[in-house]
Amino acid sequence: MSLLSGGFGMARWGFGWALLLLLLLLLALWRPGAACPELCTCTGARISCVDAKHSIMAFPMLQSEAEMENITDIYIANQSSFKSINEKDLDSYRNLRNLTVTNTRLAYISRQAFQSNPKLQYLNLKENILSNLSWRTFRHLNISYLLLAGNPLQCICENVWLKQWRGEEAEDLLCVEEGGKRTALSTLTLPNCVLPTVTLKPTKVTMQKGLNVTLMCNTSGTPTPTLNWTTCKLNSKNEHEHSGQMSELRLVNVSSLDNGCKITCRSENMVGEAEASVDLDILFPPVISKLMDAVSDHHWCIPFSMSGNPEPKLSWLLNGKPVEEGPFIRTMIHDYSEGEYHGCLHLDSPTHINNGKYTLLASNKYGEDRKAVFAHFMHEPWNESVTDPLYYDPTTDDTPIGQTEDKVAVELGRWRGLKHTATATASISVLGRGNCGGHIHRLHLDARHSEVWTQLKVWNQRSFLSHQ
């Protein structure tokens, strides 16, 4: 029996070693990205294609989009068949940060080539055959390094924007004139090749809602720039009118919902672009859009949302009487978004005294608004009868001998909404006498303040006496 067990154990160990060797062999043959092209190498988040004997014609494609999204670095060099970067070539490499295409036959880059690569920061295009490059290709990117040395860039207006570039090699970048002479691009001056300028009037817009306003944008530059407007989603009726190098934007019956909207006039030609902006400052009376039931978190909160420009002044009424704010009751604005202020009336440990109808008043120089909500925080701890079953237990199992005095739980609370703090000392004795089982409750309260507002919560913890 032991021999059989031992033989079976040895066979099992032998099978385990064989399986382990097979796995090691598979790992040795496996490369990250099972579909990594034969002519490239794929290591971690990097793809490298440098074999000069077997050239690729386009960017390699991996097995899945998930694999391509993990790639941050692509290095392509010495590829004689690589000639262009087209609109969709890099769509799946959304996390690409570093791209090198050097010593290839690259002659064309689409203006939309990097539209899916917003994280691209390093672009090395040295030693290719690029003759021109549009600034529009890079307008949405935050490129830190753009390397272009070794390309036969033409001394044409479309390349003049590179003079503005302050990259690593801006001072040494050369362009080729018609006769083949090479000139420093930084010193190139061409006729009819001027960066646009733009002016926008008025430069400040402050107005009451419901009025009209016309914005005028003028531009200059060569070649003649194109003008366009960029705005938020306007709620106001708007009209555009273009004439040569001037454009008008007319807003009719301006809506308060457009307060804070940024309006931009942009001018561009092949040399570059320019823009001017103005923010709408729309004045309007307060509007309370929300006033909700009180909710309990760390503190109690009566949430609200409201708008108004200038920012409204806020105050509260409780059952028609002003609420004096202080450390325990205060209004707090937590956020401003989409043209609205969002906040709370915070109440720290409110009691039954704080129950009631809360009215929020919002006002500025253009008007006011109000909304009300009922809030209930606590039941009253007593009423006129001392036999309230929630706070008084007329029965007891204790049968002490003689007359004694016991303690009861007493909590002194302050009404948080009052301006003054009241102090009080209280002593409560509960006496029992007679043989009829009746009880006499005697309360002694000594208050030392001109205005005493206190709350007593009394829990009778089997502390009264009974006499047989």
- Amino acid 166: pLDDT: 57
Q: What is the pLDDT of residues 223-277, one digit of tens each?
A: 999 999 999 999 999 999 999 899 999 999 999 999 999 999 999 999 999 999 9
| pLDDT reported for residue 169 | 56
- The backbone region for 78, taken as left when phi is positive above 0, alpha when psi lies in -120 to 50, beta otherwise, is left
More confident residue, 12 or 177: 177
Q: Which residue has the tokens 């490499």?
A: 93
DSSP code for 436: S
Angstrom distance (rounded) from CA 427 to CA 390: 22
Measured between alpha carbons, how far is 175 from 209 in angstroms, rounded to an integer? 55
pLDDT tens digits along 55-83: 999 999 898 889 999 999 999 999 999 99
Neighbours of 148 (CB within 10 A): 23
Structure confidence at residue 403 as a pLDDT band (50, 70, 90): very low
pLDDT per position as a tens digit, 109-154: 999 999 999 999 999 999 999 999 999 999 999 999 999 999 999 9
Q: Please report the pLDDT score of residue 181 as a whole number.
A: 92
**pLDDT band of 426, cuts 50, 70, 90:** very low
pLDDT at residue 90 above 70? yes
- Over the stretch 174-185, which tens digit does the pLDDT of each residue have? 999 988 899 988
Q: Which of 256, 243, 320, 313 is nearest to 282 (CA)?
A: 256
- What per-residue confidence (pLDDT) applies to 213? 97
Q: pTM of the entire structure? A: 0.67
What is the Cα–Cα distance from 338 to 341, expressed in whole angstroms? 9
